[in-house]
Amino acid sequence: MAQDEARLAAEAEADDAAAIAREAVAGALRTVLAGEVDHSTRRRAEYSTDASNYRVVPDMVVFPESSDDVVAAREVLRELEVPVTARGAGTSVAGNAVGTGVVLDFSRHLGAVLDIDPDARTARVQPGTVMSTLQAAAKPHGLRFGPDPSTQNRATLGGMIGNNACGPHAVAYGRTADNVVSLDVIDGRGRRFVAGSGDPEFAAVPGLKELVRENLALIRTEFGRFGRQVSGYSLEHLLPENGSNLARALVGTEGTLVTVCEATLSLVPLPSAPTLVVLGYPDMATAADDVPALLGFEPLAIEGLDARLVDVVRRAAGAQSVPDLPDGAGWLMIEVGGETQNEALGRAQAIAAASSALDTVVLPAGPDAARMWQIRADGAGLAGRTPSGEQAWPGWEDSAVPPEKLGAYLRDLQALMDRYGVDGLPYGHFGDGCIHLRIDIPMETSGSILRTFMHDAAELVARHGGSLSGEHGDGRARSELLPLIYSPEAIRLMERFKALFDPDDLMNPGVVVRPRAVDQDLRRPAARPTPSATPRTGVVATLLGGPSARTGYTGFGFAHDHHDLTTAVHRCVGVGKCRVVPEPGGTTTSFMCPSYQATRDEKDVTRGRARVLQEAVNGNLVGGLAAPEVHESLDLCLSCKACSSDCPAGVDMAQYKSEVLHRTYQGRLRPIDHYVLGWLPRWARLVGPFSRLVNKVLKPRWVQKAVLWAGGMDPRREMVTFAEVPFREWWRRGGATGGVPGLRVGGTPGHEGETAARLASKPKVVLWADSFSDSMAPSVPRAAVDVLTAMGYEAVVPDDGACCGLTWISTGQLDGARRRLENLLRVLGPYAVNGIPILGLEPSCTAVLRSDLVDLFPDDPRALAVSRAVVTVAELLTGEGGPDTIPLPAPSPDWTVPSLEDVTAVVQPHCHQYSVMGFAADREVLASSGAQVKELAGCCGLAGNFGMQKGHYDVSVAVAENALLPALRAASPGDVYLADGFSCRTQADDLADVQGKSLVELIAERL
């Protein structure tokens, strides 16, 4: 006991000393920097890992605003002997962008394209410039940067320089090193200089000339043996026959020698008519065997895809996400160019003829080719799960061999994986011999298997004359293994090279030279299990209204993650797709992540939140799920669920947020807005008989402000207006049947018997009036009655109400949500199990039944039946529901969707519909009816209760400015704002005084 107390006291004393040291360093930096210095626990958690397996908690994060800030920060840190790690988008998969000491984040402020010189075909950029930003700036000049990794819409050029990134088109344009003209850098000694080419004296770095001259033979024999030998330092560029190019030699040094302030890069012409030829083979290895014979056709790219990866894409994104492919189980995607489309097509046909493929498909530039490239772009995330759904990890992620040895290497690598009993989905840059592969090596408790596998794999790649890394660098994942592919003399040479620039080893220590062990600093083994909460029992459970015991869980079940929240939050592998910022005007294919698009802060992006949650379940830095850092991180999450579909790793932050709130406040007093907004359907039902009086009382603005403020809402918002006659009351009064209560819809007063007989043969559709449609937007279900009748269906409205508990879910009141969903299953379940479709009107409520319902009731067959029975209006109109939806009854033979040719619509897809049901059916209905459409991409910003809560108004408006508000301002008089979501219509009314309507209302108007 005494020893434990002494240990705890020593640990507390060490923590206090570390905190004092951090404060001292932060104070010194703040005196010389304009940029932010942040050493808060939450910020350190966000930057504790990148896209790798590794977790290294920094002392602080610095956001330099200029090159002067970088110089000043580096000088302070050098004098204080504090390690420094440079970071761009944080998408490094080898642990290159994590480190102790200070992390310099260049992505926040230093992201400008400083100059494009179209005559010289060069660009000058800051290190935080996102690659797609450079491509957009160069495109008007008919130019582009050659290398293009799949993360190009968030990866920064500084990071690409650090790792010597390549991408698919490196087979034509080379690696990043081959496209660097000069680098403005600061080394570990504090020297700032411009590194370029043609300087055999290497004047900026004393001793380098002698080092190269003394080791010419060693450099010529061990470095630069083939194009993708990226592991270690690329000393071959220093050779006189290679132009004595220091700039290129510094590329790929992973921040261990210099920090880049600016870079001048070479550009290449845009291909005139890119065409994609897809070749099918029996398997991946056979496809690889064919590569050497096809390189002579000078392709722009040769990529390899495995059939199992394509199957994962189909399951994740739907069959429409994959174009028709040639026969085979492995494919080569080969892009060729030409001055004309015919010339490119001729090259594609020549490649097909020269190949040994089973089958061939040629895709000119267009939607099908774009879908093929999207499969490739999402590979890093989608391959994060094996076909069986197990988590797969990077590490042996981008090995490379000479292309002529690729087929043999793939066979041997598969045999090695079979020996270990592990699996993965290989794909990659076959034209360069580079393979991307994440493997389901078990790491829940230790890294021992990872270590032995990596050692055996390194020996295998060495036997094939290859490189541990083909484009991502060595980092913490592979640096320790460098002696397996380099001689001791070459290792010592790299150590001497490092010492010339950074003798004190303060720049990204533990990487390349004097490396950390492969199994040190692993993130996953440190994370403790967080099983799904089981139900309460006994008297307390009865009093608190606990869930049915048969469900097994009080919160979400996380069935796809072994019923473990820890496994769920580790779905985030850090690929950073959530950091993509849409182009001006909101043109993007991704809704994720709206809060980051507004703030550009890692705190407010899906990945940053996942990192804080990972630290919370780890428990060493962030003190559990109830810690203030967790709730600060989740605060600006809109619960839009966009990440659940846009994140290739399947992260569902809305679900995690709900679960965290549930666990934090279960049995405790909650914030007032949880009761006001979280119980809104309850208040609407109570207000129903008195809605006219309540609306009148709440009409004065000063009353609204007082009520909003007292209820935990922002007083700048407007109060909702309750329907004087809710839909269900209207229905009971016979509103749908000319005022004849009890008459079936479609009947004629006075002819009840005849009508009943006629309707007996009509297919039935349950019209589910959710709480919002019933109490606040009854015109929507009324319009649905008209449309259903016109389509030849009998509308069935259950006698009892059925709330989905959406607002309880979004505020983490999962016990309350379960009670409402239990009632919903009682009301709607009988229809669903008998195969009767259920028409959902409010997208967020419909999404609950299609997703959250099954997660909350994983063992209840009624839940699965309801989930499969519920459809949107557009799905009913097109006759096609989701992939698991029950068959839909055909409408009347004479039914057609009314013409909308005179309609010009600004269309706001609801986030939950986009994420759960998809918007394809709505798109099809509008297109087939002739409407002119501007479809917005991105969240409206209100997102249910989010935009109403105190502290969220400014971000809510900023999100609306991404797409919604500019589109409404640009709309012409007479244009229709079309939005099925009650929140979306409320936001437009609140911020732009524009009244929207739903699709079913628009259709009903034209009947």
Beta-bridge partners for 765: 795
Convert the pLDDT of each residue in 292-350 to its tens digit: 999 999 999 999 999 888 888 777 767 777 888 899 999 999 999 888 888 888 899 99
What's the confidence (pLDDT) of residue 576? 92
Please answer whether residues 867 and 828 qualify as being in contact, where contact means their C-beta atoms are separated by less than 8 angstroms.
no
Contact, 653 vs 550, CB < 8 A? no
pLDDT of residue 742: 60
- The closest of 153, 156, 92, 161 to 129, measured between CA atoms, is 156
Burial of 18 (0-12, 13-18, 19+ CB in 10 A): exposed
What pLDDT score does 552 carry?
52
491 or 311: which leads in pLDDT: 491
Tell me: pLDDT of 681 over 70. yes
Residue among 798, 759, 762, 766 at smallest CA distance from 784: 766
CA distance 950 to 321: 40
Residue with tokens 């797409």: 963
Give 874-907 pLDDT, tens digit per residue: 999 999 888 889 999 999 999 999 999 999 999 9
Confidence of residue 133 (pLDDT cuts 50, 70, 90): very high
pLDDT score of 538: 40
In angstroms, rounded to a whole number, what is the distance separating the alpha carbons of residues 951 and 940? 17
Identity of residue 868: R
Residue 709 · residue 672 · CB < 8 Å: no
**48-67: pLDDT as tens digits:** 999 999 999 999 999 999 99
What does the pLDDT read at residue 739?
A: 64
Whole-angstrom Cα distance, residue 302 to residue 217? Answer: 33
The mean pLDDT of 411-432, rounded to a whole number, is: 95
Residue-wise pLDDT tens digits, 593-641: 999 999 999 999 999 999 999 999 987 899 899 999 999 999 999 999 9
What rounded mean pLDDT belongs to the chain?
91
Average pLDDT over residues 979-992: 96
Structural element, H or E, at residue 192: strand 192-195
Extract the tokens encoding 146: 């050659």
> Are the C-beta atoms of residues 963 and 586 closer than 8 Å to each other?
yes
Which pTM does this prediction carry?
Answer: 0.92
138: nearest Cα among 125, 127, 149: 125
Kindly tell me if the per-residue pLDDT of 413 is higher than 50.
yes
Q: Write down the pLDDT at residue 759.
A: 55
Helix residue spans in 115-214 (DSSP H): 131-138, 157-163, 170-173, 208-214
pLDDT at 341 (0 to 100): 86
pLDDT surpassing 80 at residue 914? yes
1005 token code pair: 């108007």
Q: How confident is the model at residue 203 (pLDDT cuts 50, 70, 90)?
A: very high
Q: Is the pLDDT of residue 13 over 90?
A: no
What's the pLDDT at 134?
96
pLDDT for residue 398 is more than 60: yes
In the prediction, which pLDDT does 553 show?
Answer: 63
| Residues 536-550 pLDDT 10s | 444 334 333 444 433
> Within 10 A of 210 (CB to CB), how many other CB atoms are there?
11
Confidence check: pLDDT of 215 > 90: yes
What is the radius of gyration, based on Cα positions, of the chain?
30
The per-residue pLDDT for range 38-52, each reduced to its tens digit, is 999 999 999 999 999
Beta strands 330-336; 275-281: pairing state: antiparallel
Strand order of the β-sheet with 794-796 is: 794-796, 764-767, 838-839, 870-871
What pLDDT is recorded for position 747?
45
Q: Region 696-705: what's the mean pLDDT?
A: 94
What span, in angstroms and rounded, lies between the C-alpha atoms of 345 and 277? 9
- The DSSP code for 857 is S
| Cβ(70)–Cβ(64) below 8 Å | yes
pLDDT of res. 375: 80
CA distances from 629 to 608, 626, 934 (A): 12, 8, 40
Q: How many helices and strands (H and E) does the chain possess? A: 46, 24
State the DSSP string of 522-562: BSGGGPPP-BPPPPP-SHHHHHHTPPPGGG--SS---GGGT
DSSP 241-303: GGT--HHHHHTTSTTSSEEEEEEEEE-EEPPSS-EEEEEEESSHHHHHHTHHHHGGG--SEEE
Structure-model confidence comparison of residues 588 and 249, the more confident one? 249
Query: In angstroms, rounded to a whole number, what is the distance separating the alpha carbons of residues 955 and 817?
Result: 27
Q: What pLDDT sits at residue 737?
A: 79
pLDDT at 195 over 50: yes
Least confident of 588-602, 715-729, 930-944: 588-602
Tell me how far CA of residue 715 lies from CA of 678, 703, 706, 710, 718, in angstroms.
18, 10, 7, 9, 8
| pLDDT surpasses 90 at 282 | yes
Give the per-residue pLDDT at 494: 98
Order across the sheet with 258-266: list the strands: 113-117, 122-125, 258-266, 180-187, 192-195
pLDDT one-digit tens code per residue, 345-396? 889 999 999 999 999 999 888 888 888 888 877 766 677 788 887 889 999 9
- Joined together, the tokens standing for residue 999 give 């699709």
Mean local confidence (pLDDT), 508-533: 92
Quick count: other Cβ atoms within 10 Å of Cβ 504? Answer: 12
More confident: 394 or 588? 394
Q: What is the mean pLDDT of residues 92-118?
A: 96
